[in-house]
Each structure stands twice: as structure tokens, then as C-alpha cells.
Chains A and B, each alone.
Chain A
Amino acid sequence: MTLGAMMLLSTIMLRVNTANLTNESIRDDAQFGVLATSLATSIIEEAQSKAFDEKSDTMNVTALTQLTSVLGPETGETEDTFDDFDDYNGFTKRDSTMPSATFDISCQVVYVEPGNITGSTSNRTWNKKLIVTITRPVSADSSVLALRTASIFSYWYFR
């Protein structure tokens, strides 16, 4: 009977410890989520400080046909020399400066129609969407998604 009681107690203890570890894991994920949010916000802030398009960087654009059709950095451009919003298309970076975790950042920029901001379009529009994906490598060849967020940047001109 005593042995039975001890086995029961051991089982309960194992279950409680499992629950504690699960809670710990969820808390860690939440903290990584906060860090990932700060990284994504930083990328979006940086991107939105640039010109809407390569063509609008130095001149006024009044027609959609004037906008860049191929999104991405121009030849020779690096993160330090990005000058427009869509330069972040295909941008990837590993951030090891955060405490407790390393994050991989990858970005995608697409044109979006005002009536369908969740999707994308191959047509040129006055709205571009930056999708930032933050993942956290957990081993040499696998990673887990920490955050995916998006922000839309639009071009305005006076007529």
C-alpha cells in the first residue's frame, strides 16, 4: 500500500514538473516574441524612413508606370545604402545582439491593392507591403517562427 502511494505521488510529481516545464517554455516563447516584435518594429521603422520607391527618392512620381516593377535592392545596394522601401524585398539578416537568443530576419515586399491589403498583386500600385518574418534557430538546420508581421507604406502626392 505504501509502495502504491509512493508511485501515485511520483506520478503526480512528474505531471506537475511537466506542467512547470511547459509553462517555462511558454514564458520563454513569450519573451522571445517580445524581442522579435522589437526587431520587426525596428526594421519597419527603418524601411518607412526611406523613399517609397527608387524613382520617388529624388523626384516626384505622378503615374504608376513610373514606379519600379521589380522590387528589391538595386545593384550594389546593401543594408547601409538602402534608399527606398522595396529594397527590403529579399533582405535577410541574423541578429545575435539580443540577450538570450539569436534571431533570423527575413523580409518580403509586395504591391497591394487598397481593397485587398492582406494579399498581393503583380500590378504596380501606390501601396507596398513589407512582411517581416522573425525566426529563431533552435539547431543547425531548423528554426521556429517567432513572429510574422506586416506594414503597409503608401505614396502620396498633391494633384
Chain B
Amino acid sequence: MGTNVILDIMGSIFIAGIIMISIFRLQNSATEDLYRGTGNLTAQTNLATVVQILETDFRRIGYCADWEEIPVPTEAILYADSISIKYLTDVDQNGLIDTMHYYFDPITDIPATPNPRDRYLYRVTNGEAPVDINMGVTQFKMEFYSALGTKLNFPIADPREIYSMQIDITVEDVAAYDEKYQTIFWRQIRMAARNLFNR
């Protein structure tokens, strides 16, 4: 076997190696892209779901089908801080007052998901067992404002001052390729409820 043949074989092996590595990288890149796209879509869907739940519930702060049950709607918010809110409402529109409590646990990781940052957002109705919302929420923060637009500092001594609120939510996909999680952010400055205008 001549030197040229050996060089040809070595060259071919070298080039084949480069091609193999390139193909593997290409496949890796395509897979990652697919996962990122799916993860992004999942995170967006989850965010939309969380926002929809909050929108529906927060819009009913101080609402009761029998208005005489909550004659002073501004007194509907019982407690509020940056990660929790407790208020009076009428969840099933039966004319009976319900107590709704939302709170976010910023400490405890959700063990069932690979994402180390996602946390449970809890929804508690009438002191029953908390319903945990596992939608990849990694941040849930609220700020409250008075009727004059002044930001209320925590702790809020008198929740009757609350007129509007700002909600910041960050959602990530619960599992991701190579731990590259897709992040979706939502910030809404919204009126807590129409009923809070009655003052």
C-alpha cells in the first residue's frame, strides 16, 4: 500500500468525521429549534390561561348577585400584598358571598417539573383546599394604587384605598431542551373591578 493511498484513506476519514460532526450538530440544532418553538407556544398558552383565570376572578372583586350582600364594594378587598390578595366575591353567582384568596409561593419548587424556577399559584375559595395552578409561573407580583394613582406601600393598612392594581406575571415552559427555558412576560395595569369605582 503506497503512501498516497494511506493519505487518501486518512483524508477521507478526516472529512467523513467533519461531515458526521456537522450532521450531528445540524440535527441537534433542528431538535433544539423544534423544542424551543413548542416550548414557546406552550408558555404562551399557559400565560393566556393564567391571565384569563385572573381576569375573570379579579373583575368580580366586590361583586355579588345580591348586591345587598356587599353594599360597600370598596370594602371587598380584605387583604393584599405583593404576592397575595384576599377578597369578597360571588364565584357562582348565587347571591351568597364567597371569599377568594390568591397567593403565590415564591419559595417551593414544583417537584414534578424540571424547571427549577416555576412555582405554584394557589386559588382558594371559601377556605377550602387550595387549588394549585401549575402553569410554569415563575413570577407573580402585584402592585396596588389608590384612586389618585398613588402607589400603595406594603403592608397596606387599609385595603379600602385600593382602586386599581398592576399585575406582573412571568411564565416559562415547565420543561425545555438543554434547560433553555422560554420566558413570556405579562404586565397589566388594570382596574381591579368595576365595583371598586363605587366610592
Q: Is the CB of A5 within 8 A of B37?
A: no
Q: Return the chain A residue nearest B40 by Cβ.
A: A27
- A12 an interface residue at 8 Å Cβ cutoff? yes
- B146 an interface residue at 8 Å Cβ cutoff? no
- A2 an interface residue at 8 Å Cβ cutoff? yes
**B1-35 toward A: CB 8 Å interface, digit per residue (1/0)?**
00000000000100100110011001001100100
Specify the main secondary structure of chain A where it touches its partner: helix
Q: Is the CB of A80 within 8 A of B189?
A: no
Q: Is the CB of A2 within 8 A of B40?
A: no
Number of interface residues of B (CB under 8 A): 27
**A130-141 toward B: CB 8 Å interface, digit per residue (1/0)?**
000000000000
- A16 an interface residue at 8 Å Cβ cutoff? yes
- A74 an interface residue at 8 Å Cβ cutoff? no
In the complex with contacts A16-B30, A49-B164, A23-B37 CB distance below 8 A: yes
Q: How far is the CB of A95 from chain B (nearest CB, A)?
A: 9
Near B by CB (< 8 A), chain A positions 78-115 give 80, 97-100
Q: Is the CB of A42 within 8 A of B149?
A: no
Q: Which residues of A sit under 8 angstroms from B15, Cβ to Cβ?
A: 2, 6
Q: Return the chain B residue nearest A27 by Cβ.
A: B40
In the complex with contacts A13-B26, A20-B29, A49-B164, A41-B188 CB distance below 8 A: yes
Closest 3 CB pairs of A and B: A42-B189, A45-B190, A20-B33
Binding site for A on B (CB under 8 A): 12, 15, 18-19, 22-23, 26, 29-30, 33, 36-37, 40, 44, 47, 149, 164, 182, 184-191, 197
Binding site for B on A (CB under 8 A): 2, 5-6, 9, 12-13, 16-17, 19-20, 23-24, 27, 30-31, 34-35, 38-39, 41-42, 45-46, 48-49, 80, 97-100
